[in-house]
Chains A and B, each alone.
Chain A
Amino acid sequence: MTRVIAGPFNRVEGDLEVALDIQDGVIARAEVTTTLYRGFEQLLSGRPGLDALVIAPRICGICSVSQSIAAAAALRNLAGGLAAPNGYVAANIAHAAENIADHLTHFYLFFMPDFARAEYARRSWFEQAATRFKAVSGSGSAAFLPRRRRLLEVMGIIAGKWPHSLAFQPGGTTRAIDVGERVQLAAILGELQVFLEETVFGVSLDEILAMETPAELSSYAERARGDFPFFLTIAADLGLESMGRGPGPLLSFGAYHDANGSFFERGVASAGGALAPLDVAAISEDATCAWFAPTSADPALAETLPEAEKENAYSWAKAPRLSGRPAEVGAAARLAVSGHPLVAALIAEGGATSVRTRIVARLLEAAILVHASQGWCRQLRLKEEFCAHFALPDDAAAAGLVEAARGALGHWVGLSEGRISHYQIIAPTTWNFSPRDAAGVPGPLESALSGLDTGGLGAKSAALQHVIRSFDPCMVCTAH
């Protein structure tokens, strides 16, 4: 048995280190370490409630809109108020733009470059992978980045700027969109649709949205020409459908909310496909292996106070648990919980999530969101308000539970005499890259790495990179 400390893992967001025990080339045990702690929960405490809208998004410059809408939702729930209908819709369009940008950035810049590594030089698809996806120099990023830039113009219209905007308020969004701006939004989304159809999928969005079975996905992969079908070809050759299996269950807080519910549903899915409602009270965080002082497991009561010298701890992330068990979050979880037939079938087929399911779910979600955003754009009532106004109570507690691109994001907030008395955040990658808990149960990535064959390459193995990056980790969110 050899122990390897692997890191830094680049092309993930933030600092990640993984300790691996390897026996005969196979990973026997993985310990996932997030190596950065900034202390957001402490620096939010004591401030006036609305200051959370300035501070909390700055946890993450990758999903700052997600952090903003989680904070705004928590504050809105504290007040028991409702946002203006247009405010929900405009926030959803901006949020979807951030998430689509995230999914495609992950695909083109972070995940696919690993297939251009020298390890794969003998594969039939290598030349094409190297030309298209080689890190820094591949033609894929050159094609994608200008499209990303155009997509983020949605932020200039709705949110003023990105990242870190104050446009997302408890009552809605701060800029009333006019008739010309609606046209601009529609034009941006139309251009994005063309990019997805011509470059990413190679077929119409309608065709992608209609796919329901693994057989349809296979037949699509064989006939279509585009970056996604190319990934499916590689995935089939490398067996990515059985690599990096998640332990389940899958959790989603529901995404793209309005006053009546959410576009993607909230709930829990088992790997077998059984759906159950989410019991928010069953969410806890275990700090046994985290460099934090012992505290309540209830995020509505817990503190996050560092203890850098703590014995047996190995990460700045706590271990979130649902009914005492780890849960996987992300696009695959979101779509499974929402009953997407293809994603549910892919998970049921393998009995678990895998590297392939996670990537497929992300790209399917990008297609779904472009389509949905076009509908939301038409839904805006341009003669009505975008921002409702109500005061926050002086003393109250509530949670804002939303979805970031990478999965379930919760802000638990308490106010006392108008100031923040308590703020706890559980971010998506905290769920996925959780360390072990008091019972020694590993987190989802730790489980997914266990049993992985590194082919004798150890930490240099591309398989290790695939499994880690399939979760699209955001380490800056994780320990915050």
Chain B
Amino acid sequence: MTNLLWLQAGSCGGCTMSVLDHGARGWVRELQNFGINLLWHPSLSEESGEEAIAILDDVAAGRTPLDFLCIEGSILRGPNGTGLYNRLAGTGRTMLSWVRELAPLADHCIAVGTCAAYGGVHAAQPDPAEASGLQYEGSILGGVLGPDFRARSGLPVINVAGCAPHPGWIMETLAALQMGDFDESDLDRLGRPKFFAKTLAHHGCERNEYYEFKASAEKLSDLGCLMEHLGCKATQAVGDCNQRSWNGGGSCTHGGFSCVACTSPAFEQTEDFLKTPKVGGIPVGLPLDMPKAWFVALAALSKSATPDRVRQNATSDRVVRDPRRGGHDE
């Protein structure tokens, strides 16, 4: 049996809440399906206090083999590098020191969520807690484990980014590792598993027609594309959010609000999340999936060809003209 130890550092608990949504009979049984034993998880396990500390001590001393170490939450180094803002209760020790001790003992070290991957929301300026990811600080390789860190398997920290990550991203990463189906080429340049990071959040967005015609929403709750005015970064952020869907059929853009690029390092440093910064009327952040010049040219062309139907629907909160005969009045 493969042992998985899950620890929460500077976290909101949301990654755990997300993954608990996985599995037809619950996440723990889903793990068991793949031969993964949950050694200890702070939200789920029976052992408290001394019994829990004994589990950690056994791992630290090498008496219990550690296959997967999952860390949820930023590693807090504050104040002044001491890590005292985040002690692991009952142990008298900082999470910073626990993570540095345990990570090298694990076959695989998995950063669950953007906090553990890159620092996340707690690293927003002025970064009061000195928050860092395990092997990245924002997009800079390093973090608290250092740029050269490798888990015993030889892989760097695997960054299941997202705030919160989709439950499938977490579970499928664990299961793929367990099945031996995963090597460094399966990670993108920021350590994210490519199976969900190979597409942009924008791909599959139900607002695609509005995007193609540059028919833009002007205010939240409008149906149009959220990129031009409302700060949407789905064309710049990785994720299959609009292809696999969340909570039975949702996604941020489906919900009527902009992607804030929560799978990206330093997403938290943005100001005015719901406004698009522009220069000369053109958004500063352009799509990653086509050359900038093309985008600008195509946008001008498609804007001039936008059907009235699409233009009207774009600034309404429901479809006011349906697609019959291209939306022209009969």
Residues of A bordering B, CB below 8 Å: 5-11, 13-17, 33, 35-39, 42-43, 46-48, 50-51, 53-55, 58-62, 64, 105, 109-110, 113, 116-117, 134-137, 141-142, 144-146, 148-150, 152-167, 169, 171-176, 178, 306, 308, 316, 385-387, 389, 459-460, 465, 474, 476
Residues of B bordering A, CB below 8 Å: 8, 10-18, 20-29, 38, 40-53, 74, 76, 78-79, 82, 84-92, 121-122, 124-129, 131, 163-164, 219-221, 241, 245-258, 260, 262, 268, 271-274, 317-318
> Which of A64, A110, A176 is most buried by chain B, counting CB atoms within 10 A of its CB?
A176
In the bound complex, CA of A176 to CA of B221 (Å): 7
In the bound complex, CA of A6 to CA of B251 (Å): 41
Q: Are A148 and B20 in contact (CB under 8 A)?
A: yes
In the bound complex, CA of A163 to CA of B114 (Å): 14
In the bound complex, residues from chain B placing their C-beta under 8 Å from that of A460 are: 49-51
Q: Are B24 and A17 in contact (CB under 8 A)?
A: no
Q: Are B14 and A136 in contact (CB under 8 A)?
A: no
CB-CB under 8 A for A11 and B44, given A37-B85, A157-B250? yes
Interface pairs (23), CB distance under 8 Å = A7-B49, A8-B52, A9-B89, A10-B43, A17-B87, A17-B90, A35-B86, A38-B85, A46-B125, A109-B44, A136-B46, A142-B25, A146-B24, A146-B25, A156-B247, A159-B255, A161-B241, A161-B246, A163-B164, A164-B164, A173-B256, A308-B84, A387-B317
CB-CB under 8 A for A165 and B89, given A308-B82, A460-B49? no
In the bound complex, residues from chain B placing their C-beta under 8 Å from that of A144 are: 26
Nearest Cβ on chain A to B293's Cβ, whole angstroms: 32
Q: Are B248 and A156 in contact (CB under 8 A)?
A: yes
Nearest Cβ on chain A to B13's Cβ, whole angstroms: 5
Residue in B18, B79, B254, B273 whose beta carbon sits within 8 Å of that of A51 in the complex: B273
Nearest Cβ on chain B to A178's Cβ, whole angstroms: 7
**CB nearest to A305 among chain B residues:** B128
In the bound complex, CA of A206 to CA of B3 (Å): 46
In the bound complex, CA of A105 to CA of B13 (Å): 13
Q: Are B220 and A16 in contact (CB under 8 A)?
A: no
Residue in A33, A46, A59 whose beta carbon sits within 8 Å of that of B89 in the complex: A33
Q: Are A389 and B14 in contact (CB under 8 A)?
A: no
In the bound complex, CA of A135 to CA of B38 (Å): 11
Q: A35-B89, A37-B85 are in contact. List 11 more A-B contacts (CB 8 A).
A: A7-B48, A10-B52, A17-B87, A37-B86, A43-B121, A141-B26, A142-B29, A155-B247, A162-B17, A163-B12, A387-B220
In the bound complex, residues from chain A placing their C-beta under 8 Å from that of B15 are: 61
Q: Are B164 and A61 in contact (CB under 8 A)?
A: yes
**CB nearest to A154 among chain B residues:** B247
Nearest Cβ on chain A to B29's Cβ, whole angstroms: 6
In the bound complex, CA of A230 to CA of B113 (Å): 38
**CB nearest to A110 among chain B residues:** B43
In the bound complex, CA of A17 to CA of B42 (Å): 13
In the bound complex, residues from chain B placing their C-beta under 8 Å from that of A54 are: 260, 273
In the bound complex, residues from chain A placing their C-beta under 8 Å from that of B17 are: 61-62, 162-163
Q: Are B49 and A8 in contact (CB under 8 A)?
A: yes
Residue in B86, B257, B318 whose beta carbon sits within 8 Å of that of A178 in the complex: B318
In the bound complex, CA of A173 to CA of B255 (Å): 9
CB-CB under 8 A for A113 and B88, given A51-B271, A51-B272, A476-B13? no
**CB nearest to B167 among chain A residues:** A149
Q: Are A166 and B255 in contact (CB under 8 A)?
A: yes
In the bound complex, residues from chain A placing their C-beta under 8 Å from that of B268 are: 55
Nearest Cβ on chain B to A137's Cβ, whole angstroms: 8
In the bound complex, CA of A153 to CA of B76 (Å): 33
Nearest Cβ on chain B to A476's Cβ, whole angstroms: 5
In the bound complex, residues from chain B placing their C-beta under 8 Å from that of A316 are: 85
Residue in B14, B41, B163, B246 whose beta carbon sits within 8 Å of that of A160 in the complex: B246
Q: Are B256 and A175 in contact (CB under 8 A)?
A: yes
**CB nearest to A62 among chain B residues:** B13
In the bound complex, residues from chain B placing their C-beta under 8 Å from that of A7 are: 48-49, 89-91
Q: Are B220 and A169 in contact (CB under 8 A)?
A: yes
Q: Are A136 and B163 in contact (CB under 8 A)?
A: no
In the bound complex, residues from chain A placing their C-beta under 8 Å from that of B20 are: 105, 145, 148
CB-CB under 8 A for A61 and B18, given A159-B250, A165-B257, A387-B220? yes
CB-CB under 8 A for A174 and B256, given A50-B274, A136-B28? yes
> Which of A53, A149, A308 is most buried by chain B, counting CB atoms within 10 A of its CB?
A149
